[in-house]
Structure 1
Amino acid sequence: MLARTAENLFWLSRYMERADYVARLLQVTGQMNAVRVDSDRNSEWESAIVAAGGSDSYYARHTEADEPSVIQFLAFDADNPSSIVNCIEIARRNARAVRTALTADMWEAVNTTWQELSTYRNTPMTEDLLSEFLEWVKSRVGLFHGVCSNAMLRRDGFHFVRVGQYLERADNTARLLDVKYHVRLPSVSDVGGVIDYYQWLAILRVVGARRAYRVMFKGPVEPAHVAELLIMRGEFPRSLAFCYNQITQHLDLIEDQDPQRAAEAKRQAHAIYTNLRYGQIDDVINNGLHEYLTDLIVRTEALGSQISEGHLF
């Protein structure tokens, strides 16, 4: 496969996955903001900006993180490369560049999403319409990944799509958990209280894990169990362990034109997965969950760069 084709497939999948994550983040942030009873009502919107990785660009143009500004920035801002609108725009450009490498259903899923996007961009955004828009984004991304899974040949193109999807998902999950556990850690008086409980519940909502948590852990929501579910439980498809299991599998299945160049990306991916698979959550928390997640985010970014160096250029 041509490196340019592989690169477009890789980023097509990453940007579709990112659009889904930002939509989920905005949904839950709105829900969390509605249940806050203290005066710091903007704190949820601040955490959304941090969890989306857009703090620098946002605060370069805004002085505070209020609800209308954050929604505009994360959903519709043309100058924010990770806004939902831009994610769909960029994904469509990548799909168009490799039209012949996609199935008809995959192209239709991306192109129809791009076409329907104008309906929301050109309509005044009410609360009800915003809720409809975010649900629409989630359903369209789900459709894309579904038709990819059901119709695409299990060859290099499919493997690059899946590597991109799960690398993006791993990065998003790690950032989300780190924001709650460190950046937006509640005051001592909040720990174990109502606000703390609903913040951990919000994380489960973002990744669609409320039912999975109830099945795997009986009783109330506990931080250590949430961390374990999202980091080390390979049964859950948005956990870091599951994502890296998929990354290693698909990297191993790619036919390397230059095995020596590609070997380093595989080595890094397998090293991270081994740590996730055989690690213990108690050790992670005792040694510092923030430090662990920060290291993982850095290593995930480095892996993305190494995949580009070994396969895409």
Structure 2
Amino acid sequence: MTMDAVRLVEVGARDGLQNETQTLPVAIRVELIERLVAAGLRTLEAGAFVSPRWVPQMADSDQVLRRLRQHPGVTYTALVPNLQGLDAALAAGCREVAVFASASELFSQRNINCSIDESLQRFQPVLAKAAEQGMAVRGYVSCVLGCPFGDEVPVADVVRVARELYAMGCYEISLGDTIGRGTPGRVRSLIEACASEVPITALAGHFHDTYGMAVANVQAALDAGVRVFDSSISGLGGCPYSPGATGNVATEELVYLFHEQGLATGVDLPALLEAGAFIDAALGKASASRVATALRSKAARPR
């Protein structure tokens, strides 16, 4: 990927939908992903192999993956918390998975009932088996700019977790502002610190818009050299364990931002707007994307 291109990781069908109150049918989830692929997205979270008792919205992720059509250059990923999840992903034909660790000790305890060190130990056999199977693994680090249950998270703690996941075999580390409290200056400092231990080409940004700072934070990370960003169609998502956290930065916002700066994304914005309208209708809610709202209003205006 050249410096004048940006890669988007579409997380709407997993990180987005898992925070909705309703559980959508497999057919709707598959159609959403297919529409996003048709719009030009090439890396998409398709589901999570977690307990349906805790995250019912991700039930039947195996069926979603089995029904998706394979396209050249398109990668479907799934979140796995342990070896059992990895085995289920392999059985469903998934070729890339993601593991999830927190930079906040308190969040780790409340989210997955173990310490940060214990969570990293759990991932070692997952990474080892994935390597044996030729499966790529992406690492997520949550709470990089604050914890919903405690104080600020030291940058050194974020760097440590990112470094451990990378050393363990994760090809890319997504730094997540779970509660959306970051600001551009803090983002730049965080990226610089992490890049001292993990190659900048292996870092990605994952920003939430709780405080309206997501796009500004993406720009700060872009200026610091990051070229991979997670985003969610129509701004779906949040964090079910983070009180008050709103959705991920909308994919529509980032495509608009990058295209205006002459950066290639491979995404067709009009087709993306149609995919957003589809999932908004399925959920019975208005889009959280201001770009989508503005462009639709412009298109509907009498000429």
Please say whether Structure 1 and Structure 2 have the same fold, judged by a TM-score greater than 0.5.
no
TM-score, normalisation: structure 2: 0.29
Q: Which has the higher helix share?
A: 1
TM-score, normalisation: structure 1: 0.28
The structure that has the greater radius of gyration is 1
Q: Which has the higher strand share?
A: 2
